[in-house]
Amino acid sequence: MATETDTKVTKQKSIDKAAEELIAKAERDSVTIAFSRVQTQKGCAFGKAGTCCRMCVMGPCRINPKDPESARGICGATADTIVARNLARMVAAGTAAHSDHGREVAHQLKLTAKGELKPFCVADKAKLVKVAAEFGITPEGKTTEQLAEALADAASAEFGKQDGKLTFLARAPEKRQKLWAKLGIEPRGVDREVVELMHRTAIGVDQDYESLMVSSLRCGMADGWGGSMIGTELTDIMLGTPSPVRTKVNLGVLKEDQVNVIVHGHEPALSAMVVQAAKDDEMIKLSESVGAKGINIAGMCCTGNEVLMRNKVPIAGNFLHQELAIVTGAVEAMVVDVQCVMSSLPEVAGCYHTKIITTSRKAKIRGAEHIDFEEGDAYEVAKKILRLAIENYKNRDAEAVEIPDEKMDLVAGFSHETINYMLGGQFRASYRPLNDAIMAPNRIRGVAGVVGCNNARYTQDAGHIAMVKELIANDVLVVQTGCGAVASAKAGLLTPEAIEMAGPGLREVCEAVGIPPVLHAGSCVDNSRILVALCEMVREGGLGEDISDLPVAGAAPEWMSEKAMAIGFYVVASGVFTVFGPPHPVGGGPGVSELIFKGFEEMTGGMFANEEDPVAAAHLMIDHINKKRKALGI
Ligand code: SF4
Ligand code: MSK
């Protein structure tokens, strides 16, 4: 049996002209980047099918279903057990990542409340009061800081809780909550679900693939309704709840005559401070003293999405743009925190003059400079980072600079609260107009969440753009987060002008309300905003009693991260049909495949599908939306 997959690496590397230009420059500069490494990393057929087990050192065991002699691992594990364990570990890792992010935000809110993380303060007091109430904490007799500290403690306790259930589950429709209770997938505490799933997947523990998959649903729920939701809500309280902003996207936002600093990763607190410090007179003067005309901050990946929505900072790109930004030769510093930061950055930076600065104790990279950001004076840490970048400006080789001309306008910042206000107005905020537009014939057919990453094995952004265009042309309102949102932004789909590409019904509504047909709702953890929006749609009435009744669907057309798998599991557990582009690594487990692609629907009302062709995938979503419309009699 072949050990290499037949995974084709698509010939066209990106549909983004800026990427094409810089991929060519990297080649000329003899710099190895993901777009070149993917040509030599062929992958493994067993890994792709999910049938390689490394849970103990008697292995690795690889299951070849066509060969009876290798139908089981040494311990007797079947293909389905191995496939389920591997998939479950992806969910556990993805949940851990989002949730440790959420935990960090809770910790930062507590430090802020105690005045130990300067100069942060509570930015959204109204949201603080509202979220605190959900934890049973009243503002009476408390200062804003005391209330914030009490909420931070309560939110932190959600991670270590051993019994009961997560507080935010109460946001879901009653029918959904009852179903979760019946299925036994209400997460007790975030950490408990991750630890238990890791335990279950160790050699000789849970060997029943169905039991493993149900536990994975519960663990995923701990992400979406736990860690991620805490991350989103507490970040809003600390840094401000996003509202629509208009700015620019793509590598053309870098400036030839300024000190360029890119903030990259997922946790935005320090980056927000870097943005603020870049406006400091002292820093501007310092940049002028080295011959620059100021400091230009640009975002990347989800830290980029966060500072884009709250600070109107232009965003230089999505996941596969991170190395390309360095290849421009115009970036003085790339400041990274956690997640989706390529290990290759110091090596690529070594070919130019860029400084890679890690800032989280949890995420260090050999060859990068580390500046710790944990507590104390964040503003001083931000200034220290900027000083390094400014000093580095003199090392820029003007000959090596090539900034693509590509940049596009975008509107971002559609938090659940904003959608509410925009649809219903400041004084009668409501989802009623959205529900009415869905219930009316020939207006909005339904809503799709198109989220997730870039994947170097697929043409960058092609899946996102083809899918989103097909959906809006068929009157489906699209909500996006993460790198998918950035892909659409680069293609001009996040502008009000994109209504030209929308079907007549969607176009009419977007024109009336003044929104683009594709809404940027934030970063990866902000998929929790989509959950809240779905709950509101049910609560508003007329579209059924549960999330699974809604004419909605989800997709991750270019996913690659374990976090995307965790998101998929909580979205399906919440009752939403979800299509992944790159296939789930379950091809070697017929039982697991049958369960996640069919059986889950009977259990949760949601299920997975795989479809690599983005237009065909869009039609799976549209068919599902039509099915739900029919069931609702609309
Ligand atoms: Fe092989 Fe079983 Fe060990 Fe996995 S747990 S490596 S299947 S012996
Ligand atoms: S950054 S998880 S590549 S969306 Fe959130 Fe992008 Fe995927 Fe990372």
pLDDT digits (tens, 9 = 90+) for 3-25: 344 445 567 999 999 999 999 99
Ligand nearest to the CA of 306: 2
138-162: per-residue pLDDT in tens?
Answer: 999 999 999 999 999 999 999 999 9
**Cα dihedral 539/545/551/556 (nearest 10):** 80
What is the H or E stretch that residue 91 is in? helix 79-113
pLDDT tens digits, one per residue of 612-627: 999 999 999 999 999 9
Do the domains 79-239 and 251-400 sit in the same CATH topology, yes or no? Answer: no
Give the per-residue pLDDT at 451: 98
Distance (angstroms) between ligand 1 centre and the Cα of 51 equals 11
Q: Which of 173-187, 316-330, 421-435, 572-586 has the lowest mean pLDDT?
A: 421-435
325 pLDDT more than 50: yes
CA gap 33, 343 in Å, rounded: 11
Full-model pTM: 0.96
SS3 track for 472-519: HHCCEEEEEEHHHHHHHHHCCCCCHHHHHHCCHHHHHHHHHHCCCCEE
Q: Which residues contact 347 (CB under 8 A, 6 or more apart)?
A: 32, 367
Q: Is the CB of 303 under 6 A from ligand 2?
A: no
Band (430; pLDDT cuts 50, 70, 90): confident
Q: Is the distance from the beta carbon of residue 97 to the nearest atom of ligand 2 less than 6 Å? A: no
319 lines ligand 2 (CB under 6 A): yes
Pairing assessment for the beta strands 578-580 and 552-556 based on DSSP bridges: parallel
Decide the pairing of beta strands 355-358 and 333-336: parallel
Summarize pLDDT for 569-585 with one digit per residue, the tens.
999 999 999 999 999 99
Q: How far is the CA of 90 from the centre of ligand 1 (A)?
A: 17
Please check whether residue 610 is in contact with residue 579, taking contact to mean a CB–CB distance below 8 angstroms. Answer: yes
Q: How confident is the model at residue 429 (pLDDT cuts 50, 70, 90)?
A: confident
The architecture of the domain spanning 79-239 is Up-down Bundle (1.20)
Q: Which strands, in side-by-side order, build the sheet including 408-412?
A: 369-370, 355-358, 333-336, 259-265, 295-300, 315-317, 245-249, 408-412
Quick check: CB of 249 below 6 Å from ligand 2?
A: no
Q: What stretches of 518-592 adopt beta strand conformation (E)?
A: 518-522, 552-556, 578-580
Q: Over 60: is that where the pLDDT of 123 sits? A: yes
- Where is 610: in which H helix or E strand? strand 608-610
Tell me, what's the pLDDT at 67?
Answer: 84
> What's the confidence (pLDDT) of residue 234?
98
For residue 428, pLDDT beyond 70:
no
- Angstrom distance (rounded) from CA 475 to CA 358: 43
Q: Any long-range contacts for 595-601 (C-beta under 8 Å, 24+ apart)?
A: 595/209, 595/210, 595/213, 596/87, 596/213, 596/572, 599/210, 600/213, 600/217, 600/572, 601/577
pLDDT in tens, 250-289: 999 999 999 999 999 999 999 999 999 999 999 999 999 9
Overall size of the chain counted in residues: 634
For domain 251-400, the CATH class is alpha beta
| pLDDT value at residue 17 | 97
Sign for the CA dihedral angle at 98, 102, 107, 113 comes to: positive
**CA pair distance 333, 370, nearest whole angstrom:** 12
What is the maximum alpha-carbon separation in the chain? 73
Residue 52 CA to ligand 1 centre (angstroms): 9
Domain ranges (residues) in the chain: 12-70, 79-239, 251-400, 412-632
197 lines ligand 2 (CB under 6 A): no
Which ligand lies nearest to the CA atom of residue 464 in the structure? 2
Please give the distance of CA 12 from its chain centroid, rounded to a whole number. Answer: 25
Q: What is the dihedral of CA 209, 213, 214, 219, to 10 degrees?
A: 140
When pLDDT is averaged across residues 563-568 and rounded to a whole number, the result is: 98
Which of 52, 56, 85, 212 is the best mutation target for the ligand 1 pocket, counting ligand atoms within 8 Å of the beta carbon and taking the most?
56
How far does residue 523's CA lie from ligand 2's centre (Å)?
8
Distance 103 CA to ligand 2 centre (A): 19
Look-up of token digits 């683009």: 516
**How many A from CA of 69 to the centre of ligand 1?**
15
Give me the percent of the chain exceeding a pLDDT of 70.
98
Give residue 360 CA to ligand 2 midpoint distance, Å. 18
Q: Is the pLDDT of residue 563 over 90?
A: yes
All residues at 6 or more sequence positions from 328 whose CB lies less than 8 Å from its CB, including other chains: 22, 25, 251, 254, 401, 402, 403, 404
Q: Say if ligand 1 is within 6 A of residue 72 CB.
A: no
420 pLDDT tier (thresholds 50, 70, 90): confident
Mean pLDDT value across the chain? 95
Structural contact between residues 468 and 480, judged by C-beta atoms closer than 8 angstroms: yes
525 CB within 6 A, ligand 2 = no
* 340 C-beta closer than 6 A to ligand 2: yes
pLDDT at 266: 97
Question: Which amino acid, residue 353?
Answer: H
- From the CA of 62, how far away is ligand 1's center (Å)? 9
Of the given ranges (7-16, 83-92, 585-594, 624-633), which has the lowest mean pLDDT?
7-16
Beta bridge partners of 61: 53
Q: Is the CB of 524 under 6 A from ligand 2?
A: yes
Confidence at residue 302, expressed as pLDDT on a 0 to 100 scale: 97
- Band the pLDDT of 2: cuts 50, 70, 90: very low
Ligand 2, pocket-test mutation among 99, 319, 481, most atoms within 8 A of CB: 319
231 band by pLDDT with thresholds 50, 70 and 90: very high
58 lines ligand 1 (CB under 6 A): yes
* Closest ligand to residue 86's CA: 1
Compute how many other C-beta atoms are within 10 angstroms of the C-beta atom of residue 183: 14
**Residue with CA at minimum distance from ligand 1 atom 3:** 56
What is the per-residue pLDDT for 190? Answer: 98
Q: How far is the CA of 55 from the centre of ligand 1 (A)?
A: 6
Could you give the percent of the chain with pLDDT greater than 90?
Answer: 92
Q: Give the distance (Å) from ligand 1 centre to CA of residue 208.
A: 15
- Assess whether pLDDT exceeds 50 at residue 389: yes
**Terminal CA-CA length for the chain:** 51
CATH topology of domain 412-632: Rossmann fold (3.40.50)
